Amino acid sequence: MATIVGGLAVSHVPAIGNAIANHREGEPYWKPFFDGFPAARAWLDRVKPDLAVVLYNDHGLNFFLDKLPTFAVGAAPEYCNADEGWGLPVLAPFAGDRDLSWHIIEHLVAQEFDLTTCQEMLVDHAFCIPMELFWPQGAPPPAVPVAINTVQHPLPSPRRCFRLGQAIGRAIETYDKDLKVVVIATGGLSHQLEGERAGFINRDFDQMCLEALATDPSPLTALSSLDLVEQAGSQGVELLMWIAMRGAMTGQVSRVHQHYHIPISNTAAALLVLENTPVA
């Protein structure tokens, strides 16, 4: 049976991808951010996941405002990247795992989640940058992308996203292949890119979120999506992916590593590593 070894959560600001492409990791502006990643990579080297389920939000590369599903799951043999206009290099395709994708899709539909199933799917910086951060030498494991709408209101609630994560976790646990799976969430934390609150960052709320995700997520699932906008900014709703990742942790959860740095391109950039120990 498949085993969930843990969860990772990380920011996905496009400027991070440019810093990687231009080898700026050691510069004074960037070094405090990149210094958080050796511990996460060491954990990945220890647990050696065979596959990643990546919870992310599309920024218009694959979906747009005219057609934007609440939840979409990839079921393709590979996932291509494309030019988004940020000046980021276009990366080689990422390998998929259609068998696990369909297993998750069938399980979620049986749990009454209405999904968009994508047998072709482009992935943008929200998917690609975490893969580069966690596997800087390339060769990340095959992945199943799960896109969550954080753009077009009405948004799914934190509780609904947590339950989506729980259903994904149960699906993985019932998969009949011997695989170690890591669940990755991308986005956030607090930030707002437009309007009167442009540049808004809420450090206290971010720290509360990191603690709740590691210990007790119930304060987060009690919030509404509009609460997230108020507390974390209009783009801070990307916390929905982090909440879904926490829901997928089906065992005993322990915090391995946490890193927080502000700001990176007007964003509170954070990293969280959780280990999931199955309960006998």
- Average pLDDT of span 246-256: 97
**How sure is the predictor about 152, in pLDDT bands with cuts at 50, 70 and 90?**
very high
What is the predicted pLDDT for the residue at 87? 83
Cβ contact 163:218 at 8 Å: no
The one-letter amino acid code at 42 reads A
Cβ contact 143:52 at 8 Å: yes
**How sure is the predictor about 10, in pLDDT bands with cuts at 50, 70 and 90?**
very high
What is the distance between the alpha carbons of residues 130 and 136, in angstroms, rounded to a whole number? 10
Q: CA-CA distances (angstroms) from residue 96 to 1, 47, 55, 176?
A: 19, 20, 14, 17
What is the distance between the alpha carbons of residues 21 and 13, in angstroms, rounded to a whole number? 13
What is the predicted pLDDT for the residue at 157? 97
What is the predicted pLDDT for the residue at 121? 95
What is the predicted pLDDT for the residue at 236? 86
- Average pLDDT of span 69-80: 97
By annotation, the residues acting in catalysis are: 125, 191
pLDDT at 145 over 80: yes
pLDDT at 280 over 80: no
What is the predicted pLDDT for the residue at 42? 97
What is the distance between the alpha carbons of residues 25 and 270, in angstroms, rounded to a whole number? 16
pLDDT at 187 over 90: yes
What is the predicted pLDDT for the residue at 119? 96
**How sure is the predictor about 226, in pLDDT bands with cuts at 50, 70 and 90?**
very high
Class of the CATH-defined domain 3-277: alpha beta
What is the predicted pLDDT for the residue at 5? 98
Cβ contact 210:258 at 8 Å: yes
Neighbour-count burial of 192, counting CB atoms closer than 10 A to its CB (0-12 exposed, 13-18 middle, 19+ buried) = buried
**How sure is the predictor about 198, in pLDDT bands with cuts at 50, 70 and 90?**
confident
Cβ contact 140:94 at 8 Å: yes
Q: Encoding tokens for residue 35?
A: 């210094």
**How sure is the predictor about 195, in pLDDT bands with cuts at 50, 70 and 90?**
confident
What is the predicted pLDDT for the residue at 138? 80
Cβ count near 42 (within 10 Å): 13
Q: What mean pLDDT value characterizes the chain?
A: 95
What is the distance between the alpha carbons of residues 40 and 105, in angstroms, rounded to a whole number? 29
Residues 228-261, buried b or exposed e (16+ Cβ, 10 A)?
bbebbbbbbbbbbbbbbbbbbbbbebeebbbbbb
- Average pLDDT of span 18-34: 95
What is the predicted pLDDT for the residue at 194? 79
- Given the structure tokens 């991070």, which residue do they identify? 16
What is the distance between the alpha carbons of residues 264 and 274, in angstroms, rounded to a whole number? 23
Domains of the chain: which residue ranges?
Answer: 3-277
The one-letter amino acid code at 225 reads S
**How sure is the predictor about 191, in pLDDT bands with cuts at 50, 70 and 90?**
confident
Give me the percent of the chain exceeding a pLDDT of 70.
100
- Residues 6 or more apart in contact with residue 240 via CB below 8 angstroms: 57, 148, 150, 155, 156, 158, 161, 187, 225, 228
What is the distance between the alpha carbons of residues 149 and 126, in angstroms, rounded to a whole number? 12
- Of 41-50, 68-77, 229-238, 256-265, the one with minimum mean pLDDT is 229-238
What is the distance between the alpha carbons of residues 157 and 228, in angstroms, rounded to a whole number? 10
